[in-house]
Amino acid sequence: MSLEGKSIAILIAPRGTEEPEFVQPKQAVEHAGAEVTVISLEGGTAKTNNKDLDPGGEYAIDKTFADVSADAFDGLIIPGGCVGADKLRAADDAIAFVKAFFDQKKPVAVICHGPWLLVEADVVDGRRLTSFSSIRTDIENAGGSWVDEEVVVDEGLVTSRKPDDLPAFCAKLVEEFAEGRQAGA
């Protein structure tokens, strides 16, 4: 499936994003031909984590939230990692950026603790999704229907639970990004 001509945004926290949940989806969309922009709270580089506690790699940040608009992108990837997701959900500009994708009915792929940003953006009400199990109550309290499945698609929203789900998550997000805007999203 080709993503030639598509522009995809991927979020990363200054520190604490789960490395495989950042690297593998990014590689999947690049391999399918998309142009990927790494977006964070501040410029420079960001350090990832593995299993939330172990140091990961360091990755270049292309743009900050102040420099971008959802209008410029065809899809959004939100990796997990409880530390990184918590930092991002506390930033108003990050939440406004995420919400804009839903307002524009563009596909969004979110894994692990990433749905915390969806809760903050107030976009889970009435949706079916999954996440890391510890944030199930947050999703349900926000009106979402939480399920324990490897990958869930709900009108352009792709969600998965954890790094073990990455192969299915990456395959499905490429498919949804290729389909583009969702009428009911």
pTM of the model: 0.97
Structural contact between residues 121 and 99, judged by C-beta atoms closer than 8 angstroms: yes
d(CA 136, CA 66): 31
What pLDDT was estimated at residue 1?
84
Domain assignment present for residue 185? The answer is no
The domain that contains 173 carries what CATH number? 3.40.50.880
In a domain, 86, yes or no: yes
Question: How many angstroms separate the CA atoms of 24 and 94, rounded?
Answer: 22
Asked whether residue 51 is domain-assigned, the answer is: yes
Residue 52's pLDDT is: 84
Segment 90-103 shows an average pLDDT of 98
Contacts 24+ apart (CB under 8 A), 166-170: 166/20, 166/21, 166/24, 166/25, 166/111, 169/25, 169/109, 169/111, 170/24, 170/25, 170/28
Instruction: Note the pLDDT tens digit of each residue in 166-181.
Output: 999 999 999 999 998 7
Q: Which two structure tokens, joined as six digits, stand for 19?
A: 């490395």
Q: Give 4-35 pLDDT, tens digit per residue.
A: 999 999 999 999 999 999 999 999 999 999 99
Residues designated as active site = 112-113
Has residue 2 been placed in a domain? no
Is 135 inside a domain boundary?
A: yes
Q: What is the pLDDT of residue 181?
A: 76
Domain of 49 in residue numbering reads as 7-179
